[in-house]
């Protein structure tokens, strides 16, 4: 890894401690970005690599915030800008990286406008699907003391625990969430939200695995298997 990216990686490592959003996640997203970029024309790899390394830098701050006022994508963009200024990045490059980070979140009103932002968004979402996505969802469930499975009706859950009552709204009380609810609200809709063809094809394959897993979990929870 080039020296400047290694420096950024070291800065991010000092900020991250969340089990499901640690450096391993960051590097998977980084590598997925490089893979997806091969299928897209006109990608600024410097912007993409930098944004990929910094995209979750504010995750721990959001996790520790009990007020619910911190959005790690928004704060992360601000933190990234300050870091990149000290590393000599141009204002233009910094603005591009800021947009990528601000727009990478699934539950966000900021939508990716640049090719680099779209690739980062797609790469980050791919990591919530497949075997890795299932594993991470249960790491997060344990982190927030969630149930393994919740049989609350989706409409009731949307009304009681989701901002604006929409599937892409922010969760009010994360401890009342559960992996199967995240599947219903987010995971199964990921392919249709992606921007690049390669990511959509990868997502469809990964989603089939997740669908099978949660169907099996539902049956076992009900004693049907």
Q: Which of 110, 140, 160 is the last residue of a domain?
A: 110
Q: Residue 139 belongs to what domain range?
A: 128-225
Query: If DSSP codes are grouped into helix, strand and coil, which group holds residue 5?
Result: helix
- Average pLDDT of span 80-92: 94
- H or E element at residue 175: none
Residues 68 and 151 in one domain: no
Whether the Cβ atoms of residue 179 and residue 149 lie closer than 8 Å to each other? yes
**Would residue 121 count as lying in a domain?**
no
Q: Which residue has the higher pLDDT, 185 or 71?
A: 185
**Would residue 194 count as lying in a domain?**
yes
Using pLDDT thresholds of 50, 70 and 90, give the confidence band for residue 34: very high
- H or E element at residue 120: helix 115-126
CATH of the domain at 38: 1.10.3210.10
Using pLDDT thresholds of 50, 70 and 90, give the confidence band for residue 144: confident
Residues 168 and 71 in one domain: no
- Helix axis angle for 115-126 and 91-102, nearest 10°, is 40
Residues 72 and 41 in one domain: yes
Residues 31 and 101 in one domain: yes
**Would residue 82 count as lying in a domain?**
yes
**Would residue 116 count as lying in a domain?**
no
CATH of the domain at 209: 1.20.58
pLDDT digits (tens, 9 = 90+) for 44-85: 999 999 999 999 998 877 777 666 677 788 888 999 999 999
| Tokens coding 211 | 């669908």
The number of C-alpha atoms within 13 Å of 71 and in the hemisphere containing its C-beta is 17
**Would residue 155 count as lying in a domain?**
yes
Q: How many domains does the chain have?
A: 2
Q: Which of 42, 76, 110 is the last residue of a domain?
A: 110
Q: Which residue has the higher pLDDT, 30 or 23?
A: 30
> CB within 8 A of 24, min separation 6: which ones?
none
Dihedral pair phi/psi, residue 84, rounded to 5°: -70, -30
Instruction: Centre a 10 Å sphere on the Cβ of residue 28 and count the other Cβ atoms it contains.
Output: 17
Name the CA dihedral angle for 40, 43, 21, 95, rounded to a multiple of 10 degrees.
-140
| Tokens coding 122 | 């797609």
**Would residue 73 count as lying in a domain?**
yes
Please give the Cα distance from 57 to 21 (Å, whole number).
9
**Would residue 119 count as lying in a domain?**
no
């Amino acid at each position: 890894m080039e020296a400047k990216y290694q420096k950024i990686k070291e800065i991010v490592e000092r900020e991250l401690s969340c089990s499901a959003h640690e450096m391993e996640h960051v590097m998977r997203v980084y590598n997925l970005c490089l893979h997806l970029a091969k299928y897209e024309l006109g990608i600024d790899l410097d912007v993409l690599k930098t944004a990929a390394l910094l995209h979750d830098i504010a995750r721990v701050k959001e996790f520790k915030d009990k007020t619910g006022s911190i959005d790690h994508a928004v704060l992360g963009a601000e933190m990234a800008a300050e870091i990149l200024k000290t590393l000599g990045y141009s204002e233009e490059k910094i603005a591009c990286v800021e947009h990528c980070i601000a727009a990478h979140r699934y539950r966000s009103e900021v939508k990716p406008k640049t090719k680099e932002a779209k690739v980062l968004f797609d790469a980050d979402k791919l990591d919530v699907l497949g075997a890795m996505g299932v594993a991470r969802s249960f790491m997060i469930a344990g982190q927030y003391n969630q149930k393994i499975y919740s049989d609350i009706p989706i409409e009731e859950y949307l009304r009681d625990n989701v901002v604006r009552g929409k599937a892409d709204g922010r969760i009010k009380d994360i401890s009342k969430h559960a992996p199967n609810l995240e599947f219903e609200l987010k995971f199964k809709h990921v392919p249709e939200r992606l921007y690049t063809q390669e990511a959509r094809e990868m997502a469809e394959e990964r989603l089939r695995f997740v669908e099978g897993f949660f169907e099996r979990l539902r049956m076992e929870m009900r004693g049907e298997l």
